[in-house]
Chains A and B, each alone.
Chain A
């Protein structure tokens, strides 16, 4: 009947095929039907040029006991649904603080009046960058956003980035340190990091939607953290591995403990790289926070989404430009902080 019949004939599995083949009487494909009507056996017209790859579906045609490929995706889905409840028992309380943090950050950023919030932000910019020019630029951008009534959305976006980037650093730096100390750890972590970095951002959301309800902030919080944590881990690991071997040897020769070496030598010397990682992490959280608006993350992303959904060109474009402004602000401020760290590390 099908191309690969002969394989199962040859190895004598016909009995098994028919035994498991309740779907052998399943729907007949149109091509099979046409072939039957024309009175020819489908296998007889198969030339070598039309030989299908022996995939699950092709083998299924020959032997009904063979699973189809849609059963693979279905199995995955069922498997996930089966472990979901058990997974939730562990994950729910573990991630609950993330929800609380996001909710309270959103609350604080939104309820603080603008005439406190904006000066406070400018003060922070001044402290980390020590540059009045940058403070002026940030003031201009924020006022512009506020003037076109995007202040609230921008603050929501900032609140989410603030929490997520903070947690990324909190988790990423120790992971990076662990990777730098053990080659085995590095070898096992790198494929995971590669996967996190290359998985399309939308794909993160799929299992998360199954796990958490869409109304919970932690749903998008986890998605953002998973996506944005990679650079800070990588660059912490790299930074510590790049610390001058001679300096490390000197620390050993003068009898430093591992603890003294880590906090007195390795982390301070890796700081420029770690800061570069933090900068990247913040930029990636910003990218993800827009996508996360699909799963109810508030902020400028919601307006972009509205622009797409309702074909409101102006709304979408203005919100997009607002995101660009935020990105530029965050990038310049963290870069200025990085430059200050670098200046202290001239050698």
Chain B
């Protein structure tokens, strides 16, 4: 299932410093981040970023602090101006937009959720939720219905007349999400939206986002430094390091085939059984196996299959997708997939298959 490209980032560079254009020529000639800082006093923020963001998908951009992920998301609505490159939204280059067009883009086509919520402290929850509409000049009576609808949807019915400081962090971020949804824009930018919340609330909010996403099919660009979060949410995962894209693709694909030692390190201590799904480790075949212990869904994670098999690795399952068999899962393959990639380099996995 391939969807249309909604937002496309092309050869984007961002260099911070006094003469970024001069520094750009050095970077294009292949100079690295450290060298650029030492020899020319410029900070390389982003370097040659190419990402296609598909409509209706959650694209997660992951990286540690300083990797340029927050800088990158701010380029999409031009809160930060790039040094070079193109940002295409629906095929139009945002960089060519004048002030009025840019404002229209920010008001109607993109909304944003912030790490520290960034609600207006002097406005009520309802007014905050309706902020995007109020900015367009719609009066309170008219946006009230829409704002209340989304506040209800994120689970804040009846809080409209309160002020942000009266709510907990999780609830404030719900207001932030309601605010983004009320604008009814197709694209939602989420800048570490859940990073400031405690783990339980964060899980709640992730579930809320996934639920909303199933229903609304927005184009979501989500920034995070949390690998578990990115694996949970992402349809498309982009991993940034030092302002460069190290690897991008389907999260399962990245887990099974990391192409960079940095990513191997990154994924080495996650719970693979919970993250990997049956479809990524199954053998694709429509032929029914001779003997099988049962049926599993292609989107189940391995943990649930292990629970189902009660630890017996001799079993074999039919993998179903919407009532049809799409493959066969051998428990041995499943167990092998649980071994992190670093172990594979040591040859353990090779011996096992031999």
Contact = CB atoms under 8 A, between A and B. Distances in A.
B79 A253 contact: yes
Nearest to B136: A255
Nearest to A346: B165
Contacts of A247: 118-121
A184 interface: no
Contacts of B105: 255
Contacts of A147: none
Interface in B103-140: 103-108, 110-112, 114-122, 131-132, 135-136
Given A250-B112, A257-B103, A347 B183 contact: no
B45 interface: no
Contact of A347 (B106, B107, B121): B121
Contacts of B243: none
A201 interface: no
B96 to A, nearest CB: 18
A78 interface: no
A292 B236 CA distance: 73
Given A249-B79, A347-B164, A254 B135 contact: yes
Interface in A238-289: 244, 246-247, 249-257, 260, 264-265, 268-269
Contacts of B107: 254-255
Nearest to B133: A254
Given A252-B79, A254-B107, A255-B104, A246 B114 contact: yes
B77 interface: yes
B143 to A, nearest CB: 13
A183 to B, nearest CB: 16
A254 B112 contact: yes
A279 B82 CA distance: 44
B135 A244 contact: no
Given A346-B165, A347-B164, A254 B121 contact: no
Size category of the binding interface on chain A: 20 to 34
A253 B103 CA distance: 9
Contact of A249 (B111, B118, B121, B183): B118
Contact of A253 (B112, B119, B120): B112
B146 to A, nearest CB: 15
Nearest to A260: B135
A252 B111 CA distance: 11
Contact of B106 (A254, A268, A345, A346): A254
Contacts of B112: 250, 253-254
A246 B121 contact: no
B76 to A, nearest CB: 10
A255 B116 contact: no
B232 to A, nearest CB: 25
Contacts of A256: 135
A247 B119 CA distance: 6
B293 to A, nearest CB: 52
A269 B118 contact: no
A344 B114 contact: no
B118 A345 contact: no
Contacts of B119: 247, 250
Given A250-B112, A347-B165, A255 B135 contact: yes
B77 A253 contact: yes
Contacts of B117: 246
Interface string B168-186: 0000000000010001000
A133 B115 CA distance: 44
Given A249-B79, A346-B165, A347-B164, A254 B122 contact: no
A2 B116 CA distance: 74
Nearest to A253: B112
Contacts of A257: 103
Contacts of B108: 255
Contacts of A269: 121-122
Interface of A: 244, 246-247, 249-257, 260, 264-265, 268-269, 344-347
13 contacts: A246-B114, A246-B116, A247-B119, A250-B119, A253-B111, A253-B189, A254-B106, A254-B135, A254-B179, A255-B135, A256-B135, A265-B120, A269-B121
Interface of B: 77, 79, 102-108, 110-112, 114-122, 131-132, 135-136, 163-165, 179, 183, 189
